[in-house]
Amino acid sequence: MSHTLGIRQAQKQKTRQAFLDAALALLEEQSLSSLGLREVTRAVGVAPTAFYRHFRSTADLGVALVDEALGSLHPMVRTTVATPGAERITRAVRLIADHVAAHPAHVRFIARERHGGVQPVRQAIREQLARFAEEVKTELAKDPEAEGWSDEDLLMLAHLYVDQMLITASLFLETLEAPEPSEAARQRVAHIATRQMRLISLGRQHWLD
């Protein structure tokens, strides 16, 4: 009996993932607010009623996509921010570039839906970004430069870094989707992103002056 339940659970998870993959592919050319349930089920090859065994609505599916796109990044971000010195910024830019190259559809989805028309998805993105900011704040607080800083100021600084990482991801995505993608364009984005994050760090050094 347990073996049968295991097979059923695996099949259910496989179907759920098929919905997520199909939606992500369809969202390359449209926003979530315009995505139809029947459009998704047609892409998966199942009846519309099968959708409701996994998601309450397309908004619920969108929230699941947010978790898929951002949820797995928390350990990597924490590890990157924990890197000491100037290497922290270099490693962060490299991480963003590699992630965009490996998961462009996820990055595109977050960039579009962060200010999109589906409120639960906007909220889910805000909550994930708030988690990133708290995690970044925790690591920044360990730096010697954090002495004398309030939690409020550290969190503000963390949000600046998180916002800059999102901007950088969008810029890397633009180079990837250009009519003629080039390594030179990618390197320009990396160079600018590195300088911008260093500028944030420079401001940090003189914040309490």
Radius of gyration of the chain (CA): 20
Check whether 106 has a pLDDT greater than 80. Answer: yes
How many angstroms separate the Cα of 44 from the Cα of each of 8, 17, 23, 169, 196? 18, 10, 9, 29, 42
What is the per-residue pLDDT across 140-173, written as a single tens digit (0 to 9) for each? 999 988 989 999 999 999 999 999 999 999 999 9
Task: Tell which residue, 104, 94, 119, has the closest CA to residue 69.
Answer: 104
Output the pLDDT for position 94: 94
Task: Write down the pTM of the prediction.
Answer: 0.90
Mean pLDDT score across all residues of the chain: 92
Confidence of residue 6 (pLDDT cuts 50, 70, 90): confident
Q: Provide the H-helix boundaries in the chain.
A: 2-26, 37-44, 48-51, 58-70, 74-81, 87-102, 104-113, 119-140, 151-176, 183-205
Check whether 37 has a pLDDT greater than 60. Answer: yes
Check whether 2 has a pLDDT greater than 70. Answer: no
Output the pLDDT for position 99: 94
Output the pLDDT for position 205: 84
Check whether 85 has a pLDDT greater than 80. Answer: no
